[in-house]
Structure 1
Amino acid sequence: MKVILQETLEGIGNLGDVLDVTDGFARNFLLPRRKAVEASTRNVKEFEHAKRVAAERAQKERLEIEAHAKKISAVSLTIPVQVGKDDKLFGSVTNKDIADGLAAQGFTVDRRKVQLAHPIKELGTHTVAIKLPREVTAAVAVHVVKQQEEAPAEAAQATS
């Protein structure tokens, strides 16, 4: 009996495969559990149509995500940090800091999607990748700069 698989089955086949299986396997396992449908001409046409519609929807969604990636890539973040002697950072700039900076500019990004191999520990401009759905990535320029000193009068009051 010829059947069309409705889901991927380990050792049998993938979603959409048209297989020739024994009648008993189809009647007793695949069909009752809705893991496959009989490969009639009508079912084959329906499946091809559903596959075509899903591909069009996926393409449209990918274009929307790529447009969103272009908007994110146009953003330039400036993150002020405290520095010590010889411009050494106190701490580091992490993916959470970058996600918070993007959120402040109106882009909601999960901090786990910020692709940062290791935290940024030096001043300068760094390019950071943001992973989006459908294998789309956006690159954001992150400028790590010295935090401006607060008023010297406040520092003098704090020491007194």
Structure 2
Amino acid sequence: MKVILTNDIKNLGKKNDLVEVSDGYARNFLFPKKLAIEANNSNLNTLNYHKEMERQAHIEKIEEFQKIANNLRGKEIIINTKLGNNGKLFGTITSKDICNKINSKFNLNIDKKKISFEQVKSLGNYPISIKLCTEVSVNMILKVISE
């Protein structure tokens, strides 16, 4: 019997998957626990409609992230910091510092975990990478100057 899963089921499939199971398993376990519905024409049409809506929403989200990436690409983020006696930085520059600067400068809400960069030990320019989503990332320049 073909069924459409309404929840993720280990060793069987994920939500909205169309799977083939035995009649007894479907009637005695999946249907009573509302883990699956029968794969008739009506339910298949509904499933296809929902998958298409999810796909469209995903495409729109990626296009939105592409616009943000085009706005950020190649831009400079300037961070002022104090220097120690030997010309090295006093303290460290964290992804939180960079995130706060980007969010305030460009009026965005980017998570600090999405920012990757090499460790900053002295003044200068450093490349940073921001992963907006799985398909879209953007490179920027971090400019560290002394106060």
Moved over 4 A (4+): none
Per the normalisation by structure 2, the TM-score is 0.85
The alpha-carbon deviation at position 74 of structure 1 amounts to 4.6
Asked if 2 retains the 8 angstrom alpha-carbon contact of 1:116 and 1:128, the reply is: yes
Q: Deviations over 1:82-110 (max 9, x none)?
A: 22345211112111211121133123322
Take 1:13 and 1:4, find their aligned partners in 2: how far apart are those partners? 10
The alpha-carbon deviation at position 27 of structure 1 amounts to 1.4
Identify if the C-alpha distance between structure 1 residues 13 and 110 changes in structure 2 by more than 3 Å, giving closer, same or farther.
Answer: closer
Gaps of 5+ in 2: none
Aligned partner of 2:62 in structure 1 is 62
Per the normalisation by structure 1, the TM-score is 0.79
RMSD of aligned C-alpha atoms? 2.0
Task: Tell me, yes or no, if structure 1 residue 23 matches structure 2 residue 19.
Answer: no
Take 2:135 and 2:23, find their aligned partners in 1: how far apart are those partners? 41
Identity of aligned residues (%): 30
Alignment of 1:43-82 (within 5 A): 43-82=43-82
Asked if 2 retains the 8 angstrom alpha-carbon contact of 1:5 and 1:13, the reply is: yes
> What SS does structure 2 have at the residue aligned with 1:24?
helix
Task: Tell me, yes or no, if structure 1 residue 116 matches structure 2 residue 117.
Answer: yes
Task: Tell me, yes or no, if structure 1 residue 128 matches structure 2 residue 128.
Answer: yes
Identify if the C-alpha distance between structure 1 residues 120 and 11 changes in structure 2 by more than 3 Å, giving closer, same or farther.
Answer: same
The structure with the largest alpha-carbon Rg is 1
Count of matched residue positions in the alignment of Structure 1 and Structure 2: 146
Asked if 2 retains the 8 angstrom alpha-carbon contact of 1:124 and 1:145, the reply is: yes
User: Counterpart amino acid of 2:108?
Assistant: F
